[in-house]
Structure formats: structure tokens, C-alpha cells
Chain A
Amino acid sequence: MDTLVLHVHASSNNTILSLTDANGRVIVNASGGTVGFKKAQRAGFEPAYQATVHIANAVREKAIPVNKVELRLKGFGAGRDAVFKAVHSVTNWAVCRVVDTTPVPFNGCRPKKARRL
């Protein structure tokens, strides 16, 4: 496959990264937890940055040819910006497309009730 896709799930509690091929088959996984942070510390700039470094190292070790990378961002956590900056400072990947895949319902499921009632 030509284009690899880096899925970034940036929630308010953690950042999960998945490098997959264009079809969605996973090559490498990394998250705030896999790089050694625990519980609440997984949310933040640093774990997301280190997770990207982890993925970059794994790709280099496995000698996977990286031509183009599509960045798919999901959620608005702290890891969102962190991963983008890390991809530019740590790796030399050519980002071909930046996509936002945050799921927005067209009035789907009813959310939980409001707090403080």
C-alpha cells in the first residue's frame, strides 16, 4: 500500500495511536499507557509525544517503507496537537493529508443526563 494512515484517538484521558495501511490493517500501536504512564498521567502532551516517538522507532526497526502518511485525528484531547508536532519534529514522514474523524452524530444516541441535578 502506498499511503499509511496514522490514527490518533485523542481523548481527555488518554491518547491512542495506530499506524495502519490504507485499508486499516494495523502495523504498530502505541498509547499513553504503552510508553510507561499510568492512569491520569496518560492524558497530556508528554505521553502523546512519547507514543509518537515509540511508533517512529518501531517503524525504523521493522524497516517499513514510509512514503506518505495520512493523519486522522479523532477527539480534542491534549494529544491532538502533541502528535502533530511530534510527527514533524521526530520523524521525516511526508504528511499528505490531515483529516478530522471525530464522530459527530446527526442526532443519534441520547447522551447521559446533565450533572448536578
Chain B
Amino acid sequence: MMNGFALFRGLTSRTPATAIFARAMSTGTPAGGAQSALEVRMKFASNLNSMVANQGASVVGRSVPVASGGANRAYMRLNRILSDNGIRRELQLRRRYEKPKYKRQRLRQESHARRFKEEVKQKVHLIMRMKNWGM
């Protein structure tokens, strides 16, 4: 089942997404009607395209169709999308030019803060679990 691509990437078919991808990307055995790699890729792309929710809209991303929940839910969902992707923050940063020196400094600080917070989170989780075990 695992093709050369999957083996190369060390993917197992335990995770569903990778299995689907590996299966979709496999060009098939010569006996079973081989497709060229390009054909396989085009078909995969068109399958992904059909799964996009915003088919009829002129703007695909950052676009939320109003469903049974009402326009309020859609608006909240849109705000969620924007905040998750940091659109607002990105626009704030882009308002004024940030010189390369300050950009490097900021990225270093953010990376450090992210790693530190991750460590703290792990320690806290461990302590909570130990508390549940009764230690």
C-alpha cells in the first residue's frame, strides 16, 4: 500500500490524511492502468477544488456563507477566521515600515516567547496530571 513517495517521507497509513494523500498521489501499477504523474496531480487538485466551501463567491478566502445559524453566527465565524490568521495584527505591522533590524529582533523575541510558553504549558499539564494521580 505504501508507495515510494510515502516510504520516502516516512509516512505510515495510520494517519488518515497521509493515507488519502499517499493513495491519491500513487500512480498505480503498470498492470492496473497507470496514469501519468501530471494527470494524478491534476485530478487531486480538482478534487480539492470541489471541496472548497465557497464555490459561488467572488472572494474565496475570508468569506462565510450565512447558514441556518443566522448572520450573527457567520459574522462571528468570520471574526474567528480573521483572528486565527492574524489578519488584524499583520495589518498593524504593515501600517509603518519595519526596518530589517527591528524585524529580526521582533521575530527572535516572538520565537523565544512562544517556546517559553510552550514549556510552561507542558509543565503545568504535568502538574495537573500528577494532581489527578493523587501526588
Contact = CB atoms under 8 A, between A and B. Distances in A.
B131 interface: no
Interface in B48-78: 57, 59, 62-66, 71-72, 74-75, 78
A89 to B, nearest CB: 12
Interface stretch (A29-37, A53-61, A98-106): A98-106
A99 B63 contact: yes
A86 B80 CA distance: 21
Interface residues on B, range: 20 to 34
Contacts of A84: 71, 75
A112 B95 CA distance: 7
Q: Give the contact-size bracket for chain A.
A: 20 to 34
Nearest to B63: A99
Contacts of A71: 71
A111 B63 contact: no
Interface of B: 57, 59, 62-66, 71-72, 74-75, 78, 81-82, 87-88, 90-91, 94-99
Counting from the closest, the 6 A-B pairs by CB-CB distance are A100-B62, A95-B71, A99-B63, A114-B96, A111-B97, A98-B74
23 contacts: A72-B59, A76-B91, A84-B75, A87-B71, A96-B66, A97-B57, A97-B65, A97-B74, A98-B66, A98-B74, A98-B75, A99-B59, A99-B63, A100-B63, A101-B59, A102-B91, A104-B87, A104-B91, A111-B97, A113-B96, A113-B97, A114-B98, A114-B99
